[in-house]
Homo-oligomer: A and B are copies of this chain.
């Protein structure tokens, strides 16, 4: 039984509560929360009459623009090396299906990798992330875990990295990526690098792809759902290595695509073409979004830190991964133990929605949570535009009140007395 993706599930649960008139600070869903660039919507509108299927591999124009996207980021790419799809999720699934071997995952990592591996009938081998950043396995633990997995009958073949990372909002340092690549190469493992947050690294120079170290064994996926906040448009793409094996895997991906989703909707292909040509208005939109993500994510991080939570400082996108271990005793006195129960308690008592780390493969007993900050920007398009345009978005009233509510909830959470809950119920 494949369960409904946890991130999508909490989003729907919170939407239902809001529909009932409840106030919820929504920190549960990785939707980028940025209004659509009007020029992009115009391009889509003008392509509305395109109803032909088109090639499974996407139009030549689109593949050329995708190749250009990688070219401009220092990695020369031929249009035959790329493949668009309705979302990078579909391509990640097809890669897991097509590449040989079981799946090695950083723990924690994005909710869907492990579920996709299960769907493809593959085992998952978890490796804890290092202390400094997520999205990569700890190089000091990787070889040991691979050996152990083999002894238990697994066949580790695919290592998925997320750079920058969801859920931790960090960017793995080059030295760590290089160390991981060296171990992958020594073990004959192929790397799938999920780089959908690449353009949202606060410091572009911090980003480093495994394709720099292992160009012939790295498959990259990306898309427009995060940088351009176009999740509902379903625009993703993959890049395969410029090798015979890369070409063979691309053929295989096209085979899976042709039997499962055919291709990206044709009007979306036209819109994606224009966006991926990266005209100045697109780059400016992404840059403004990145600045907003950074301000709010760092603001939320400061609240968690002040309250006594431990969290890596976010360096990309709109995620952070606080550890509420210091609240454990107080929570246990309330009868709340384990990450799932704390997540429910936060939603029910304080109207604060955030996903437990267990959804990302983490230890369910650890009180770690994935906090997504991008839905704080506003509940209307107008509020979101004002957040994009604000020099100090933390002082916009709707953002300020959410942050205050979070701070108050965390302060209350550390109080041992039972009276605290009743106080909140009156809010």
Residues of chain A whose beta carbon lies under 8 Å from any beta carbon of chain B: 1-5, 8-9, 11-12, 15, 31, 35-36, 38, 41-42, 44-46, 48-56, 86-87, 89-90, 93, 97, 112, 115-116, 119, 121, 229-234, 251-252, 254-256, 258-268
Q: Which residue of chain B has the shortest Cβ distance to A268 in the bound complex?
A: B265
Knowing A52-B31, A233-B51 are in contact, say whether A119-B265 is a contact too (CB < 8 A). Answer: no
User: In the complex, A87 Cα to B257 Cα: how many Å?
Assistant: 12
Apart from the given pairs A8-B258, A116-B260, A234-B261, 18 other A-B contacts in the complex at a CB distance below 8 Å = A4-B254, A5-B259, A11-B55, A15-B55, A31-B53, A38-B49, A50-B232, A54-B232, A86-B234, A89-B262, A90-B260, A115-B255, A115-B259, A121-B121, A232-B267, A233-B265, A233-B266, A265-B265
- The contact of A87 among B49, B97, B261, by CB within 8 Å, is B261
User: In the complex, A394 Cα to B169 Cα: how many Å?
Assistant: 62
CB-CB under 8 A from A38, the residues of chain B are: 49
CB-CB under 8 A from A264, the residues of chain B are: 234
Q: List 25 A-B contacts (CB under 8 A).
A: A1-B252, A4-B56, A4-B258, A8-B55, A8-B258, A11-B55, A31-B53, A35-B51, A36-B48, A41-B48, A44-B45, A44-B267, A52-B232, A54-B232, A86-B86, A86-B234, A89-B261, A93-B260, A112-B258, A116-B260, A119-B259, A233-B267, A234-B265, A260-B260, A260-B261
- When the two chains form their complex, are residues B121 and A97 in contact, meaning their CB atoms are under 8 A apart? no
CB-CB under 8 A from A112, the residues of chain B are: 258-259
- The contact of A262 among B8, B230, B252, by CB within 8 Å, is B8
Knowing A8-B53, A53-B8 are in contact, say whether A89-B265 is a contact too (CB < 8 A). Answer: no
Knowing A56-B5, A234-B262 are in contact, say whether A256-B119 is a contact too (CB < 8 A). Answer: yes
User: In the complex, A36 Cα to B256 Cα: how many Å?
Assistant: 28
Knowing A45-B48, A233-B265 are in contact, say whether A56-B258 is a contact too (CB < 8 A). Answer: no
Q: Which of A4, A44, A121, A232 has the most CB of B within 10 A?
A: A232
- When the two chains form their complex, are residues A119 and B1 in contact, meaning their CB atoms are under 8 A apart? no
- When the two chains form their complex, are residues B86 and A4 in contact, meaning their CB atoms are under 8 A apart? no
Q: Return A12 CB to nearest CB of chain B, in Å.
A: 5
Knowing A121-B121, A254-B4, A265-B234 are in contact, say whether A48-B48 is a contact too (CB < 8 A). Answer: yes
- The contact of A8 among B31, B44, B56, by CB within 8 Å, is B56
Q: Return A211 CB to nearest CB of chain B, in Å.
A: 25
Q: Which of A3, A5, A42, A86 has the most CB of B within 10 A?
A: A86
Knowing A4-B251, A45-B46, A266-B233 are in contact, say whether A11-B93 is a contact too (CB < 8 A). Answer: no
CB-CB under 8 A from A254, the residues of chain B are: 4
- The contact of A41 among B4, B49, B93, by CB within 8 Å, is B49
- The contact of A86 among B45, B56, B265, by CB within 8 Å, is B265
7 A-B pairs with the lowest CB-CB distances in the bound complex, closest first: A232-B266, A2-B255, A5-B258, A45-B45, A44-B48, A45-B48, A41-B48
CB-CB under 8 A from A262, the residues of chain B are: 8, 87, 89, 231, 234
- When the two chains form their complex, are residues A53 and B261 in contact, meaning their CB atoms are under 8 A apart? no
Q: Which residue of chain B has the shortest Cβ distance to A50 in the bound complex?
A: B232
User: In the complex, A42 Cα to B266 Cα: how many Å?
Assistant: 16
CB-CB under 8 A from A49, the residues of chain B are: 36, 38, 41
CB-CB under 8 A from A54, the residues of chain B are: 232
User: In the complex, A87 Cα to B264 Cα: how many Å?
Assistant: 10
- The contact of A51 among B4, B231, B255, B263, by CB within 8 Å, is B231
- When the two chains form their complex, are residues B260 and A51 in contact, meaning their CB atoms are under 8 A apart? no
CB-CB under 8 A from A93, the residues of chain B are: 259-260
Q: Which of A31, A97, A231 has the most CB of B within 10 A?
A: A231
User: In the complex, A31 Cα to B390 Cα: how many Å?
Assistant: 49
Q: Which residue of chain B has the shortest Cβ distance to A251 in the bound complex?
A: B4
CB-CB under 8 A from A266, the residues of chain B are: 232-233
